[in-house]
Structure 1
Amino acid sequence: MMTMRVEAEPAYRTAAANPYNALLADALVEHGARVRDLSYLRLALGRADIVHLHWPDLTFLSGHRMSIVRARLFFFRNALRLARLRGTRLVWTVHNLESHESRATPVLRERLHRMLVAELDGLLALSASSLELARQRYPELDALPGFVTPHGHYRAAYDWSLDRGRARELLGVPAEGPLVVTVGQIRPYKNIPALLDAFSDVAVSGARLVVAGRPSSAELAEDLRAAADGDPRVVLDLAFQSDERMAWWLRAADLVVLPYRAVLNSGSAILALSADRPVLVPDLGSLTELGEQLGAAWVRTFHGELSSAELSDAIRWATEAGRPVTVDLDPLEWDTVAHQTLEAYSAVREHPRIPVSRRNVPPERQSATGSPIVPIADATLVASPHTSP
């Protein structure tokens, strides 16, 4: 069997910020693939079977110098066109329906959108619902083959050896009483002020809330302080959290709450579950399916805005006796994810390219341009009604 050569964006270069891509790349390598971070020069002059994009808006639209953004788009598209002469295919894992941060001008965002629509050969998603939502949002991609390739776990990527008591001792929080935690970089879409508001009326005896992470703006930090409003039960640790400190907070927690306003997939939920901590999340995107995969003992969902009553019930649920000590993460094993991803790569390479002119999207289903695109996942081909057999 030939070695699958993959130019991934990213593969290893973002490992310090989020080990997800490096874990995927390592798993693919274990299965015999050759995976490297995308190089435009190597793409133009070398050989690649697959170019795998994860967050196109971050890849192409980040930065403040629009000349650099334009150059990225120009060099990538032209390198890809040369690579296509040697059979290269382009796939995208749809992690988000919208960018979490506004980047570049509407003109450049539209240019990225047009490029992806024209050049993509296949979609990967982290759940079946994500794939369906992506196709609904971007019907120009209906004709492309789509695959579900789940988000693998983080169990081997962090040190989870501390028990609950020792983690609390190191962090300086009380040894007893329910501890609710939300951890990681704080951005508006994560809706943390709503969590603080809901917690203000929680009457569970001894309950405390920790918000640990660096806010994306000074204004958001002020909003969090105002929402906490001097509540002695709330700890605001509004600073960068190292991998070690994030692991401590998660191991100290009884419940991890992620009150997203809008979300398609959540690596933060999988991180908490990798620490063997139950999560409370909205019933959005892939999170409902995550509960079905890992069980009602570990994933609890809420609908709409998080209320104090729902949060109180979730704290009681998280601290009740009878929960297993560890989460069964077999559905998210990297060996399985790599196998499914390689099957998707092979299927995309075997599938004939479908030019945009032959996709026949009805005018009423055409999406507005100017937005980035979406994610999904699991190993089998999820046929679109417009996909050729």
Structure 2
Amino acid sequence: VGQYHFGKGFDDVLLSRFVAVLGVNWSIALYNALVDLVHAGDLLSERQSRNLSLACADWSECYDDSRGWLLRAFLAGKAGDMSMEKALLQRLHDEDPAKFWRVVQDVYRFSRPLAGFCLDLVQGECRVLADDGKHRQIAYYPAYRRNAYLDLLYRDPAFSGMVFPFVELDDFLSVTCLPGVENILHIHWVQSVLAPAGPSRSLIDLHMDSFLLRLQEKKNQGFKIFWTIHNYLSHGCVDPEGEIALRRALYDLSDYVFVHHPMAACLLDWLSDRKKLCLSEHGAYPVVNDISSSRMAMRSQLGIPSDGFVVMHVGQVQPYKGLSEWLPIFQDLLEVLPGMYFVLAGRIVDSEVRAWLDVNQHPRFMVIDQHVSNDYLEALMAAADVGFLSYDKTLTSGTLFHWLSVGRPVLAPGKGTISCYVLDGWSGYTYQSLSEARALLVSLAKLSATELARLGRNALISANQLEWGLWKTAELHVRGER
């Protein structure tokens, strides 16, 4: 009966999975089942297409949830009605841009590149730079050692091999403008500009003025100024007012300002306008080793059984990640869930976290307090069932993209742009409070291996659609279109 009314996507697998999680976040499960039906609905009859369209409208009306209309737009696109799809998407975007970008992938599930949305479907927060084939000299600052993000960003063929990293600001601002090429100064994390000033406001102003003056001189010489915004404010910012003044001035001086996701424009309330914003996605990280074999080998090395439920936090433990308030919760969960293991891997800089760990120990609370190499990090992440993020405040997260790249579901705060990538019930879950996260961890621990694997496969699907680069080619624009 279900297939007669809704198409072949209404099968035993879908029905059993929906029933299995009906008691846990049932509205999420029900909505995901509806999205599954639409994604699976190829060659629909007129009746089936009409019923699914009505179901989309019912969802919006009954639950006051605009995602029903998003799903109707996706259904229109599948049927070849691109004008209706585009009109619906633009209307939903214009009603509430922040909500639109937060939930659009709940429906599209990374079936269309983000650049395609910005270029073809939604005129909104940021544009996409097209690669015009120019030869370029790119100098960037600051260049951090062992920074995979920078290595992968500048691996783009569009840079034609003329990329120069600078560790020192003075060297960066002394680079020579070359004839016959497009000369670019690309700035990333601005805390390096202000760090030498310390907490002194007068010194902050002095460093800021000197930096902006020299940057203007380079622009007068023929350099274009690029800036990528990674955070709302720098982690550990000591003078928010002073840093926002720098960010506003740098925006005004820049030719192009890049964000990882259009949603960021809705969160950066200190922007004077959005005219210079361009998309530069945070791409996926390459995976070198076989994940399944690495998983078993690392579990054996850590003494974790094959059927243990492993939650893992990786990366340097800094105060801004807010992990200290989570430690008692994990300690408690280890008592409640005898099959659960928590692994904390990364150099611990947060003194509160270190102090707590010194007096609280548990045989299934495993701490690897050291710098973790890329290969070891990948093997550790393979051993996990769920990746855990604990940011207090964040705009985006490089660790999130690591987890997606190794195909692991993520439990993360619904802050910044994180909810644009972690889709509830599809590739993980987002939380708004400690109590909600605790309840979600209990629910995740009860999921079958099959269900956890499904979440992991979907996480990998989202990672595989991400695209590195500042410029996009026409080929990249249409990749993934139906």
Q: Which among 32, 36, 51 is matched to residue 164 of structure 2?
A: 36
Larger Rg: 2
Q: Which among 141, 166, 169 is matched to residue 300 of structure 2?
A: 169
Q: Which among 330, 345, 353 is matched to residue 220 of structure 1?
A: 353
> 3-state SS of the aligned residue for 2:135?
coil
Q: Which stretches in structure 2 are left out of the alignment for 5+ residues? A: 1-132, 167-171
User: How large is the Cα RMSD of the aligned pairs?
Assistant: 3.3
Q: Which among 145, 148, 173 is matched to residue 19 of structure 1?
A: 148
- Identity level (%): 24
Cα 1:41–1:259 change in 2 (3 A) is same
Cα 1:61–1:314 change in 2 (3 A) is farther
> 3-state SS of the aligned residue for 2:453?
coil
1:197-208 to structure 2, matched below 5 A, reads 197-202=328-333, 203-208=336-341
Cα 1:278–1:151 change in 2 (3 A) is same
How many residue pairs end up in the alignment?
A: 328
Q: How many Å separate the matches in 2 of 1:107 and 1:287?
A: 25
Q: Is the 8 A contact 1:9 1:53 kept in 2?
A: yes
What TM-score results when the alignment is normalised by the length of structure 1? Answer: 0.73
2:344 matches 1:211: yes
What TM-score results when the alignment is normalised by the length of structure 2? Answer: 0.60
> 3-state SS of the aligned residue for 2:155?
helix
Cα 1:127–1:316 change in 2 (3 A) is farther
* Match of residue 189 from structure 1: 320
Cα 1:192–1:152 change in 2 (3 A) is same
Cα 1:160–1:218 change in 2 (3 A) is farther
Q: Deviations over 1:234-264 (max 9, x none)?
A: 1122232222332222111111111222221
Q: How many Å separate the matches in 2 of 1:296 and 1:125?
A: 27
Cα 1:68–1:303 change in 2 (3 A) is closer
Q: How many Å separate the matches in 1 of 2:344 and 2:332?
A: 17
Q: How many Å separate the matches in 2 of 1:317 and 1:3?
A: 52
* Match of residue 348 from structure 1: none
Q: How many Å separate the matches in 1 of 2:281 and 2:295?
A: 29
* Match of residue 131 from structure 1: 265
Cα 1:289–1:71 change in 2 (3 A) is same
1:48-63 to structure 2, matched below 5 A, reads 49-57=183-191, 59-63=192-196
* Match of residue 386 from structure 1: none
Cα 1:248–1:196 change in 2 (3 A) is same
Q: How many Å separate the matches in 2 of 1:182 and 1:280?
A: 10
Higher relative contact order (CA 8 A, sep 6+): 1
Corresponding letter in the other structure for 1:211: L
Q: Is the 8 A contact 2:410 2:422 kept in 1?
A: no
Q: How many Å separate the matches in 1 of 2:159 and 2:374?
A: 28
Q: How many Å separate the matches in 2 of 1:190 and 1:111?
A: 25
Q: Is the 8 A contact 1:282 1:303 kept in 2?
A: yes
Kindly state the Cα deviation for residue 284 of structure 1 after the two structures are TM-superposed: 1.3
> 3-state SS of the aligned residue for 1:308?
helix
Q: Is the 8 A contact 1:255 1:315 kept in 2?
A: no
Kindly state the Cα deviation for residue 379 of structure 1 after the two structures are TM-superposed: 8.2
Corresponding letter in the other structure for 2:234: S
Cα 1:176–1:343 change in 2 (3 A) is closer
Q: Is the 8 A contact 1:255 1:279 kept in 2?
A: yes
Corresponding letter in the other structure for 2:155: D
Structure with the largest fraction of helix: 2
2:92 matches 1:92: no
* Match of residue 3 from structure 1: 135
Kindly state the Cα deviation for residue 113 of structure 1 after the two structures are TM-superposed: 3.8
* Match of residue 276 from structure 2: 145
> 3-state SS of the aligned residue for 1:85?
helix
Kindly state the Cα deviation for residue 126 of structure 1 after the two structures are TM-superposed: 1.2
Q: Which among 305, 315, 335 is matched to residue 434 of structure 2?
A: 305
Q: Deviations over 1:65-110 (max 9, x none)?
A: 789978865664344223322443323222111221135x678646
Q: How many Å separate the matches in 1 of 2:419 and 2:251?
A: 28
Cα 1:314–1:130 change in 2 (3 A) is farther
Q: How many Å separate the matches in 2 of 1:95 and 1:26?
A: 19
Q: Is the 8 A contact 2:317 2:349 kept in 1?
A: yes
Q: How many Å separate the matches in 1 of 2:197 and 2:300?
A: 43
Q: How many Å separate the matches in 2 of 1:129 and 1:114?
A: 19
Corresponding letter in the other structure for 1:21: L
Q: How many Å separate the matches in 2 of 1:172 and 1:69?
A: 50
